[in-house]
Each structure stands twice: as structure tokens, then as C-alpha cells.
Structure 1
Amino acid sequence: MLSVFDHGPPPPCPAPFNLAAHVMGRADALADKVALSVLRTDGAESWTYGQLQSAIRGTATGLLQAGLKPGDILLMRLGNTVEFPITYLGAITAGIVPVPTSSQLTEPETARIIAELSPAAILRDPDVACAAHPFQIGLTDLISMRDLPPAEYQMGDPERMAYVVYTSGTSGKPRAVAHAHRAIWARQMMMDGWYGLTENDRLCHAGAFNWTYTLGTGLMDPWTMGATALIPEPGTDIGALPTLLCTHEATVFAAAPGVYRKMLQESEKIESPTLRHGLCAGEKLSRHLHERWVKATGTELYEAYGMSECSTFISSSPAHPARGDALGQPQPGRRVAILGPDGPVPQGAEGTIAVHRSDPGLMLTYLNAPEEAEARMQGEWFLTGDQGAMAVDGQITYLGRDDDMMNAGGYRVSPVEVEAVLSRYPGITQVGAAAVEVKKDTFVIAAFYTGPEELDVAALRTYVEANLARYKQPRAFIHLPALPTGGNGKLLRRALPAYFKATTE
């Protein structure tokens, strides 16, 4: 059997359609229910569905009155505040195309974005860096728009562009990824396929308002379901999260693996009686960290896989837990394959994870680089660039980035596999693996780790000899104060070899 998961397509996206209208679809019926609570150690700032929808549609009116038109591109240079999701959905309400960006971008980085996209305007928090642009709308004016009369949702073709996000850039130059209004429709497949989310849930996301993971999983998806979103206020210490989860009766918690890791470093036992489970995405979750969370909370942790170009489409869930080291399986309605050069590989064989061109969560294209988008296609399949293997039951094991794959003596080795083994070793808090050049054209695997102190190399070698095939074993172990990460907190494996060179010169 070939590695293809296809259990039928999802229901078609209705037309006409508007992404923001879909997210706020239950707002009228739940007008007095709390949609969002910004959590503090001494209370919370709460917004009802009625207040939230009024602010979103008032902002849409304000943007149109400012001279923006449907189809215009609007660059968002806003901080980690509630203005971010309100403005994002306000723009989409009016048919304007927002471009959410990290507040950590520098002025030169924003200059490149402005040159590439030629935005009609920039929404600007004065405390957030941004290059010059002739039309900037300040934060004070933006906030005042909330009280304007509500704009009507601009309905239209679900295939038209709704928003643009940038890739992380870890695989090369960051690309502007254009998504259609239908992208939100695709996220319905996550509700049972990952979240197990209902209207009665209180979902707490540990990320910032201006992070796309938070924007989707932490805000828009709970609002689509009529649930309550809980977001810790900016600057909240990770050590305070267990108390916030308990005090505010969170039923689902979402974060990146790094947050779970830090929480468990500070608290061996986390008491939160209402918590049903946790959600994890952003980078590969280690088996060791997963087991520590279950032990500390008595609840499960469900992992998901997605990317800037396509919303999360492989995951474990309460209905379909992951088996062993697998990520999970494609969500109901998804069509996913593991491809080799000639198409789908046999079940169990390694290949590139691919999602079908028809997936409603797949991007429209890369703006100003459509040829690169087409280069990612293999027939009807979009190549993710990540390696995996599909079992007979559809469960997919993640084997790392195609360009992260290490070559040791002619064998291709996944860094994720090496990292998973070493992450269980006492005294290691975080680990990254990479191939390093020890002499001309001779590469070995090196492990870079953080922890309270440098560990005994002989003991580490004995450990990996017992847990990894010889060709997978690191030949060098380098203790670092911190591992290199990108602006989104992900491990930058490509940067690791430079640390090896620095320690050997």
C-alpha cells in the first residue's frame, strides 16, 4: 500500500464568504458571553462577544473612512495588545488585506517588506520599529475607530486573498504567503482533529497576540466555536502560568514546546482541576517533555504539524491519540501523502510530507514569487520540505526538515531522532543535533546541549551507544549556555555548526 491518506474531502466552503464573518458567526447569539479575557495575576480584562464584534466592525468602518479600499494591503506594525486581533479582523471585515508581522522585526527588515508589498498604509504603534511610509495610522486613531458605526462584512469569492503572512526564513529568504478567505474554513478540521474544542471550553494560549499561532489557535478558533479565549497579559512570567490556568479555570492550554519546558523546570507538579489537555505546535515535541507534562498534570498533550503555507493538518487529538513517537494522523477531510521522486512511497518508507493542492488551508501563492510556489508542487501535491513516514493506520512520524537531514558515512539521519534520545538524558534541558565538518569533506554528527553544567562525555557516549545505531551516534558533545533560536523561538539547526567551529579553533 502507498502512503496516501484520503478519507474524502471536507464540506465545500460556502460562497459568498468572509473570514471575519465566519469567526464572528456566533457573536450575535452569544453577545453577553465572555469571548476574551486578558489574564493578570490580580484579575482579568474581559470582552464579551458583543463588545468584540462591535470593535471589529467599527474598526472596519474607520479603515474605510481613512481612505483604504477592499483589496488594499495593510502592514501591521502593532505590539502585543488586544488591538492586534481586533484590527486584523476589522481589516478583513472590510475586504482589506492585513499583513500581521512580528513586533521584533527591525527597521531594515520592515523596509524590505514595504519594498516588496507596497502596502497602501501601515498601522503603527510608535513603540514598534518600522521604516518610513507616507501613510501611517497611529495607535490612538486606531483605538478610536472601535466606537464608529459597524461596517457590513464584505462578502465575496472565498478564493480571494484575505491576509498575508511571512515565512520564518529558516530555509532561506522569508516569503510573503498569501492566503484566501477559505483558510478559516479549513480550520474546522482542527476542532475534532486536534483540539477537541467545544463552545463550553476556556482555551488559554501562552503566546503573544501578535503571533500567528496565537491568532489562530488562541483566538479565532475559540471564537469560531463560541468558546472563551484566555490570553496572559504581556510580560507575564512563565512561572505564573500554572496559577493562571487554575484561577481562570482553563480547560485547554496551548503553547510551544519551549513554554512547556520552562513551566516544568519551575513546577514538577501542576494542579489545574478544570484542565482537560494541552496543545503543542511550533516545533517537534520530544517524547521526554510529553511524558513530563503528563506526569506533572495528569492530562494529555496533543501535538500538531503545520506551516506558514498551510494551516495545521496533521495532529493527535483526544479522539485519535498519537501512537509511539508519531505526530498523529491527517485530520478528517485532509488529503496527505508521503512522496518520493516518483510519487507516493510504500507505507513505512521515508519521504517528503505533502498536502494536496485542493486543501482549503493551502496558500494561494507566494506574492511576487509565484514561480517558487509552483516549484514546491509535485503534480497535485504541495511539498512541505519535511520528511516523514506513514504507518498502515495513517499515523505519521516526523523525521525532520529535508534540508536538516544529516549525512553520516552515507547514511541519512534525522536530527529529531538524535535529539529525542538525548533529551531524556539527566542534566540536559535542550538539545540540537547537526552534521559538522571535522576535516575537509568529512562530517560527523555533533550534539549541542544546554543544562546546569557540562556533562561527562564518556557517560554521554555510553548512553548513545546503548540507544542509537552507530551511524546515528554523535561523535562530539558541546555544552552551550543557550541554543540559537529564531524570532519565533524555534531552534536554528543551521547555526549550530558555527558553534562547533568556535569551540575547536
Structure 2
Amino acid sequence: MIPNWLMQRAYLTPEKAALSFGDDTWTFAQLKHKSMQLAEKLAANGLQEGQRIALLGPSNADMVFIIHACMLTGLEIVMLNSRLTTKELEWQLEDSGADAVIVADDMSAVIANSAVRLLPYSTIEQSEGQPFVVQDLWTADRTITIMYTSGTTGFPKGVRQTVGNHVSSALSSVLNLGLNDKDVWLCAMPLFHISGFSILVRSVLYGMEVRLYEKFDPIQTAQEIRDGSVTRMSVVSLTLDKILRELEKDNAMAHPSFQTMLAGGGSVPVDYLERAVQRNIPVLQTYGMTETSSQTATLAAGDAMRKMGSAGKPLFFNQIKIKDMKNPYDKGEVFIRGPHVTPGYIGRFSAVHPLEEGWLPTGDIGYFDEEGYLYIVDRRSDLIISGGENIYPAEIENALVAHPGVSEAGVCGREHSEWGSVPVAFVVVTGNVPVEELRLFCEQRLARYKVPKEFRFVDKLPRNASNKLLRRELREWVEQE
């Protein structure tokens, strides 16, 4: 059994700062009080322990209160990506079987026609509270969150993340990073992503303040890092570069109290690491996924320059192996094992067991060097990482071939100086199909970051003898420009 996170933390350190957003700050006691009030209002709206709800809203303080209220009520939370289109959201709502959608008022129009019951923030706030008994202890196998991750089939998978998964992830992280009583973690990651949500989990387990941003602001972030008002932050390469650029404008350095820049979402360019060293910013590269509740391996700051491009070694409770590896540098699929690994999926993929003989096959290709440091060659061979967002080509291809004038579609990534990579679509059409028509067609079905930045018309796509699309040849076409 594991203590109810917020109840235990508010008991242990009630007056310690828990959350700051804008000019406002809440202690753990205040966070518990406000979240408990909302939990009683959720109960008054008929939501009970064990039910599954979806949550859609911006990454602000209200979202934090709602998240904690849902956990206090005993609900499973389907974290919806606010950047998705109506069609994508409706698919996830149907697949998840959510009993209701708790939604920020200004986002309710996006899912106004959903068959699932809508429960706007304002409706909750205006409700009279209904007291109920809060569970002081949780079982490790209780599902806390469900996050959708794009699958290689083009259909998103709803990944279950349990109490035990989140606790293991947080403990592994703190054993690696350490903990200071004055730690403040700047969170500019979306709370619907595992990278953002895991920071909230660390906050209540560690007794650490979260400095929350609704959207990433490079100017303000750089100011906080140089002033010493924050000590840690999670970034992707794109946001790291923007922060460095702001510091470089004034030849400014990170405050001596700044401890960690945790960089995920793909390898960090060597140039960025060298520039970070010049600004006194310790960058720790990390490797993880939705199915592992954030970090699985992390490169120590002291190894950042010596082991450039490496994701480091597995964190304490975790294990990683390379399939069929016999010697260092042998490349193969990365397999993961540990208490942080999901027990399974929901909805369409609920019957799919995620493990093979106790190991999670990631689909990523990597290798270990002679010292046991992990290197990822491809984050799934066809995966496109754009600004830290994972984009699967199959999902875009499925959207494109739905157009009546498109008979075939193939998608790959193209390197981009700002976003890291962007999708490029190769299409075989019947008749005259304008590019703008295809772009609009995609925008109505895909989140903006998934819409191809370039459309190329071809007579045929490269395929093997089994008619399987060869995306590696598409990448070669792009590189031959």
C-alpha cells in the first residue's frame, strides 16, 4: 500500500510551497484544501471512485487543482492533448470509454458534439460540495492516468500508468538527481504529457515546489534561471536552444543554484551541449516513453561531454537490454523492464499485452558502448520528433488516403533547423488535387504539428515484394535534394 500522495504530503510539510503560477503561490496545505473542495464538487456531480473521466484544459493552476481533485476522488484520468483536433479527441473519448469529460470552459466548443457527458470547470465550481471518505492508502496497481501515444498502426494507444509506475519513476529519478530542500522545478511541459505530469508527481512525493508555465516563455524562463528562482527544468532540444539564445544575448550565466536541465524527446545536438556548458547549465540527456512513465535512462551531467549523444545508464530500478546483442556497439531493438513499465493498454488495444517475457519491446533501435552507456540510433525507425512531439507517419498516411483524390501516401521526416524534424508527404493522386486542398484536409483531421510541411506528388511509392512501404527510401529521396 502507498499513502495518498497529496494527503500525506500536506500532513508532512503543510506550509511548504507546492505550486506557483504567475504571481500566485500555494502551500501543500492550501493545495490540499482547494483540491478537496473540488473533489467534493466532483462527487456532487455523480463522479465516484473507480470511474474513468477524461480531462481537457490548459496547463495552468486550475488544471493542477482538478488533477489532484480527481485523484482524491479516486478517478482514472484520461489526459487529453489540447492540441488535437475534434476528430482526434472524439476518437480517444470513444476508445477510452470515459464516463465524462471535465473540460475548461474555453475549450468546450472543441468537443461540444461529443456523445460523452461534458462537465465544464464552471459547472463544477458552481456546484455544492458533497463530502465523502477519502482513501488514505492506495494500492500500487491502481490506474492513476491514461495517456494516448500514437501507435505504428496509425491508431493511438491508451497507456495505463499506475500508482506504482509513477512512484517508481519518481524514486528512480531522485536517486539519480538528488534532492535539495530549496528545489523548484520549472514546468513548461504540457501536463497532459508524461513529462509534465511526472513533475507534479515528483512535487508531492518530494515536497518540492513546481513553478508552472501555461506556455513556454524563453525570455521569462531564462530570467528565472539566471536569477536563481528555479533549480531544475525539463526541456526538449528546441526549448533548450531558445533558452540558451536568450542567455547568450546578455552573456548571462545560470545561477549557481541551478542544478539540472533534463533533456528528453530525442538526442541533444553537440552544439547545444557545448553552449550550455558556457552558460553553466548542467544538461542531463534522458530516454523514456509514455509506457515507462517518463525516464528509463539518464546521462549524468558529468558525462555530458564525454558521452555526447548517449542517454546514459538505466536508473536504479530499471533494466535495459538490446535484443540479440553479443558485443558492445551491436545495434538492436531496445527492451525495458522495471516497476515503471505500464501493465497494459485500454480500449482498442486492451487485449494487447505490452510485454514479451517480462520485457517491454520499444521499437527503438539502440546499442550499449563498452562502458554500458545507452545510445538510441532511431526512436522507432520511422518516428518523427518535431519540437519534442512524437509524430508517427502511419497516422498522417491514414488521414491522407482518406481523401478521395489520393490513392497512396507515404510520410517521412526532414531535418529542420528549428523543430529538429518536420513531416514530408509523398502522395500518388488520381486527377488534379491542389496542395492547399491536401493541407486543409489534413488540418481538419490532425493536430497542426502533424500536418506535413511539404507535399510531393509522385507516380509511385517505393515498396518491397510484399508491397510494404519502404519509408527509408523516402528519407533517401529527401536527403538527395
Q: Among the aligned pairs, what percent are the same residue?
A: 18
Query: Match of 2:253?
Result: 271
In the alignment, structure 1 segments of 5+ residues that lack a partner are 1-14, 406-414, 420-431, 435-444, 452-483
Aligned pair in 2 of structure 1 residues 59, 145: CA closer, same or farther (>3 Å)?
Answer: farther
Take 1:446 and 1:150, find their aligned partners in 2: how far apart are those partners? 51
RMSD after superposition = 3.7
Residue deviations 1:304-337 (CA, integer Å, cap 9, x gap): 1111111211112358767233110000121221
Take 2:265 and 2:363, find their aligned partners in 1: how far apart are those partners? 15
Take 1:262 and 1:154, find their aligned partners in 2: how far apart are those partners? 43
Which amino acid in the other structure matches residue 282 of structure 1? G
1:53 maps onto 2:32 in alignment: yes
Query: Match of 1:239?
Result: 219
Take 1:386 and 1:271, find their aligned partners in 2: how far apart are those partners? 36
Residue deviations 1:84-105 (CA, integer Å, cap 9, x gap): 2222222122221111111122
Q: How does 1:25-36 map to 2 (within 5 A)?
A: 25-36=8-19
Residue deviations 1:386-406 (CA, integer Å, cap 9, x gap): 11111343211111134239x
Take 2:367 and 2:9, find their aligned partners in 1: how far apart are those partners? 39
Take 1:132 and 1:371, find their aligned partners in 2: how far apart are those partners? 23
Say which is worse superposed, 162-171 or 219-228, in terms of deviation.
162-171
Secondary structure of residue in 1 paired with 2:327: coil
Match of 1:327 among 311, 318, 322: 311
Q: How does 1:120-135 map to 2 (within 5 A)?
A: 120-128=99-107, 129-130=110-111, 131-133=113-115, 135=117
Contact residue 191 and residue 197 of structure 1 kept, 8 A: no
Which amino acid in the other structure matches residue 209 of structure 2? T
1:338 maps onto 2:318 in alignment: no
Aligned pair in 2 of structure 1 residues 172, 328: CA closer, same or farther (>3 Å)?
Answer: same
Say which is worse superposed, 81-90 or 146-155, in terms of deviation.
146-155
Aligned length: 409
Aligned pair in 2 of structure 1 residues 280, 351: CA closer, same or farther (>3 Å)?
Answer: same
Secondary structure of residue in 2 paired with 1:373: coil
1:379 maps onto 2:357 in alignment: yes
Aligned pair in 2 of structure 1 residues 188, 216: CA closer, same or farther (>3 Å)?
Answer: closer
In the alignment, structure 2 segments of 5+ residues that lack a partner are 394-411, 419-441, 457-470
Match of 1:250 among 230, 254, 279: 230
Contact residue 365 and residue 381 of structure 2 kept, 8 A: no
1:178 maps onto 2:178 in alignment: no
Query: Match of 1:67?
Result: 46
Q: How does 1:298-447 map to 2 (within 5 A)?
A: 298-311=280-293, 312-318=295-301, 323-340=307-324, 344-356=325-337, 359-370=338-349, 373-374=352-353, 376-404=354-382
Q: List, as ranges, runs of 4+ consecutive aligned residues in structure 1 with deviation greater than 6 Å.
A: 145-148, 488-505
Residue deviations 1:132-165 (CA, integer Å, cap 9, x gap): 2352221123345798768513644321322211
After TM superposition, the score normalised by the length of structure 2 is: 0.74
Aligned pair in 2 of structure 1 residues 56, 336: CA closer, same or farther (>3 Å)?
Answer: same
Aligned pair in 2 of structure 1 residues 500, 148: CA closer, same or farther (>3 Å)?
Answer: farther
Which amino acid in the other structure matches residue 313 of structure 1? T
Take 1:58 and 1:121, find their aligned partners in 2: how far apart are those partners? 19
Query: Match of 2:265?
Result: 282
Take 1:373 and 1:158, find their aligned partners in 2: how far apart are those partners? 21
Query: Match of 1:454?
Result: none
Which amino acid in the other structure matches residue 203 of structure 2? P
Contact residue 58 and residue 148 of structure 1 kept, 8 A: no
Query: Match of 1:293?
Result: 276
Which amino acid in the other structure matches residue 252 of structure 1? R
Match of 1:160 among 124, 142, 163: 142
Which amino acid in the other structure matches residue 133 of structure 1? A
Contact residue 299 and residue 311 of structure 2 kept, 8 A: yes
Secondary structure of residue in 1 paired with 2:300: coil
Take 1:259 and 1:142, find their aligned partners in 2: how far apart are those partners? 35
Query: Match of 2:5?
Result: 22
Take 2:453 and 2:150, find their aligned partners in 1: how far apart are those partners? 14
Contact residue 33 and residue 49 of structure 1 kept, 8 A: yes
Query: Match of 2:204?
Result: 223
1:125 to partner: Cα distance: 1.5
Contact residue 194 and residue 316 of structure 1 kept, 8 A: no
